Amino acid sequence: MQEQKSLNNRGMYIPSIDAKDIYLSSHYIKEPAKGYTLKREDGQYNLRKFTNSLDYSLDLTALQDIYYKKYRRRDFSFRFKELSYTAEVINVTFQYSVKEWNQMGRNTFVRFGCAPDDLDFQDCIARDGDGQIAGIRLGCPPLSPARDLPPGRGESDSGDLC
């Protein structure tokens, strides 16, 4: 009951996660798959993911009571700077689809099945253990200049590029 009073009729924030991120995190080529986590590497919750909220209502108090009866713990929510958060309820969105090349961040594309944390980008390109391209970073200047194309490759008969 004390946890319910601490809500101050504000409700609590819940994470909003895209289904694409959950699916990709559990389908890496390397075993075992890491799975999706709301925590950063230092063990703290990434509060930027908590964008939606549950309004203070009888439903929220019932959820807390059910959680207590099921798990016998009162850690349904946590507080940070006078706001309440819970990771026990999530909002799943379906805004993005899984493709062969998935965008991770502003200018990075990673091949399906490759973990973006495991890639080492050199000259804007990351390769996997087989030497195949596993990631591409756009907008970064290459360290080595591009080689000239061999004659007859990439040019039409008139000398213009395709």
Rounded Cα distance, 91 and 145, in Å: 46
Q: Which of 37, 162, 135, 161 is nearest to 90 (CA)?
A: 37
Share of the chain residues as helix, strand and coil, in percent rounded to the nearest 5: 20, 25, 55
Instruction: Check residue 112 and give its pLDDT.
Output: 87
Q: What letter does residue 101 receive in the DSSP assignment? A: E
CA distances from 46 to 24, 79, 118 (A): 19, 13, 20
Instruction: Check residue 50 and give its pLDDT.
Output: 93
Does the pLDDT at position 98 exceed 80? yes
Rounded Cα distance, 132 and 111, in Å: 10
Q: Is residue 2 very low, low, confident or very high in pLDDT (cuts 50, 70, 90)?
A: very low
* pLDDT tens, residue by residue, 6-31: 455 778 999 999 998 888 887 776 66
Does the pLDDT at position 149 exceed 60? no
Instruction: Check residue 51 and give its pLDDT.
Output: 92
Rounded Cα distance, 103 and 21, in Å: 11
Rounded Cα distance, 14 and 37, in Å: 14
Rounded Cα distance, 74 and 67, in Å: 8
* pLDDT tens, residue by residue, 117-126: 778 888 888 8
DSSP SS3 for 63? helix
* pLDDT tens, residue by residue, 78-97: 888 888 899 889 999 998 88
Q: Is residue 148 very low, low, confident or very high in pLDDT (cuts 50, 70, 90)?
A: low
Instruction: Check residue 152 and give its pLDDT.
Output: 55
